[in-house]
Each structure stands twice: as C-alpha cells, then as structure tokens.
Chain A
Amino acid sequence: MLFFSYFKDLVGQEVTVELKNDLAIRGTLHSVDQYLNIKLENTRVVDQDKFPHMLSVRNCFIRGSVVRYVQLPPDGVDVDLLHDAARREARGG
C-alpha cells in the first residue's frame, strides 16, 4: 500500500519507466493502481531507433509485473517523508 500511495502523489510528474525487457519509456504519470500497473501519457521511448514499432504510441498502459525501475526526478521525491512512512509501515506491519 505504501508505494501505491506514494505513486498516487507522483501523478502528473515526468518519469521514466524501465521494463524488464530493457525498454525504457519516458512520460507523464497519469495513474497507478494497487498492482502498480502504470498509465503514462505523452510517451517517448528512450532508444527510439531500437524500438521503431513504438513510434506512434503516445499513451500506454504498463503491467506492473514487467516494471524493473521507475526513474524519478530527484526533486520530485521527499525522501524524509518516504523514510518516515516506511518506518511507520514497518512498525505497524
């Protein structure tokens, strides 16, 4: 639940999602759900030449199970808040 809430707060920010098949997609975080499925808007693929089929894809749905990383803007994260939330979750859980 912690990361679901965390991602909900990040909606509207520019992120880069790196998938397990090495595809990296940059876009605006539109929405997230309990499975950490991600919907991105205004997407562009990082290495466009390697993935020509993605040229006209502007919005996409990414299944949570295939995400390796979600790269965030360094100032888009309040690390202390996240740290506190994690400690609270560890204590309660």
Chain B
Amino acid sequence: MSSWAGPEDIYLSTSLASYLDRKILVLLRDGRKLMGTLRSFDQFANAVLEGACERVIVGEQYCDIPLGLYVIRGENVVLIGDLDTEREELPPNMIRVSETEIKRAQKVEREASELRGTMRKRMEFLDFD
C-alpha cells in the first residue's frame, strides 16, 4: 500500500481516482447531499468539488442550490457516489421548487420533528408503562 499504484491498479484499488473529473454525489455526516465534479482528493477522502450544488429534498420537493468551488474535509464524508448520467437522478414524481420554497419546507419539517421530540420527552417524563 505504500508504493505508488501503477496504471492498472486503479481498476482494482479503493482510490477515488476512477471518479476524477466525473459528476459525483457526496453524502455528508450532517445529512447534506452535495453534487459536483470531482477535481481532487487525498488519502483522508478530502475532496475538491467544482460546480458544486446542494440538493435539498423535502418530501417530494427538491431544489439544487449552487455553491461553486468546494473543498470538503474527509472526516465529514459518508459516501461518494458515481452518478450514472444515463439514468434519472431522481424519481419522476419529484417536483423542482425554488430556493425560498424549499427553505420554507425545511423549516416546517424541522419544526414538526422538534415538536415530536418535545412531546416524546413529555411522555417519557410521565413514565407511562
């Protein structure tokens, strides 16, 4: 593993070299989904994404928010997926909305889950058997 990989080794190794200059999806630990062209990487899975955008999905609505050139710290990376350009990226029932619309939907979803959280805490406090 310490020697440089030869040209054939790229096909068998776990290096991100096979994803270079391709459009990829990066899942982050905080749940965000970034998409862009992989321009650089290293052994920690740090990555440089060109033309990056964040795909925000709430229910059946989605929006791509442009971000530009991004450097991602590897410790935040969950998964890097090679996007097959021949296939549809999203199910056909999904509706593309504007940035303000998706941010509003995110707020609603966040408030709903916070409410569920506080209600659960109240139930636990009451200690129903």
Contact count band on A? 20 to 34
Contact count band on B? 20 to 34
Number of CB contacts from chain A to chain B under 8 A: 81
Against B, the Cβ 8 Å flags (1 = close, 0 = not) of A19-59 are 11101010000111110011100010000000011111111
Contacts of A33 in B (CB 8 A): 1, 13-14
A19-B78, A60-B79, A66-B79 known; A55 and B14 CB under 8 Å? no
Q: B75: nearest residue on chain A (CB-CB)?
A: A65
A6 at the interface (CB under 8 A from B): no
Contacts of B31 in A (CB 8 A): 21
Which of B19, B45, B78 has the largest count of A CB atoms less than 10 A from its CB?
A: B78
Report which B residues bind A (CB closer than 8 A).
Answer: 1, 12-14, 16, 19, 25, 27, 29, 31, 33, 45, 55, 57, 74-75, 77-85, 87-91, 94
Report which A residues bind B (CB closer than 8 A).
Answer: 19-21, 23, 25, 30-34, 37-39, 43, 52-63, 65-66
